Amino acid sequence: MKRLAMLVCAMAALAAMSACGEKPQTLGAARTDAAPYQGTDNAFAAPGWTKGDKTSWEQGLKARAQNSQNEYSRTGSPSTSK
């Protein structure tokens, strides 16, 4: 009886230990990406916004979209949407 109890304990310990060697198999999420408003270190950045300032970057892009893609804003149409 004592031998059986020891065997059961040994088996339980073995089962408990087996999980320790298990490697996690979860899918790794993609690496984090720096936000674009953080800017770059190269010399090609558009002027008119402050690197690291999200609001400034957003306003810069909005102004760029209006100026470069909306010709109605340049012709001064009364119903120009901005």
| CB nearer to other proteins: pick between 9 and 36 | 36
What is the C-alpha to C-alpha distance for residues 69 and 37, in angstroms, rounded to an integer? 21
Tally Cβ neighbours within 10 Å of residue 39: 15
Binding mask 19-58 for other proteins (x = CB under 8 A): --------xxxxxxxxxxxxxxxx-xxx-xx-------xx
80 touching other proteins, by CB under 8 A:
yes
| Ranges of H-type helices in 1-79 | 2-18, 54-69, 72-75
Neighbours of 66 (CB within 10 A): 15
Whose Cβ is closer to other proteins: residue 3's or residue 82's?
82
Contacts with other proteins, residue ranges (CB under 8 A): 27-42, 44-46, 48-49, 57-58, 60-62, 64-66, 68-72, 77, 79-82
